[in-house]
């Protein structure tokens, strides 16, 4: 029983190193008339020093997705 518990703890600790925690963000950009905004630039910046953490652009229908976002405090900036 003790051996199983130790192996389980080791697996849990190693999984945090091998599989780091990342997040994703997706949405649709629309204007005041609720029409999609095509090819807008979406930038994710760190709060600490405003460096670019990740970025993407919306498609023809205003949809966007940012993947592999590291944990931390960030702000979303939109440029049309």
Does residue 70 carry a pLDDT above 70?
A: yes
pLDDT band at 20 (very low <50, low <70, confident <90, very high): low
Please tell me the number of Cα atoms within 13 Å of 53 on its side-chain side. 23
Average of pLDDT values for 12-17? Answer: 48
72, 26, 23, 37: which is closest to 51 by C-alpha?
A: 72
Average of pLDDT values for 9-29? Answer: 66
Q: How far apart are CA 44 and CA 77, in angstroms?
A: 6
pLDDT at 7: 45
Within 10 A of 42 (CB to CB), how many other CB atoms are there?
Answer: 19
Does residue 28 carry a pLDDT above 90?
A: yes
Pairing of strands 63-70, 22-28: antiparallel
Position with higher pLDDT, 30 vs 8: 30
């Amino acid at each position: 029983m003790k051996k199983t518990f130790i192996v389980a703890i080791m697996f849990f600790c190693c999984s945090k190193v091998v599989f780091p925690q990342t997040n994703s963000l997706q949405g649709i950009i629309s204007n005041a008339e609720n029409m999609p905004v095509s090819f807008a630039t979406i930038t994710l910046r760190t709060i600490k020093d405003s460096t670019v953490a990740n970025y993407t652009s919306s498609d023809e229908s205003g949809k966007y997705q940012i993947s592999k976002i590291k944990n931390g405090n960030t702000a979303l900036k939109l440029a049309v």
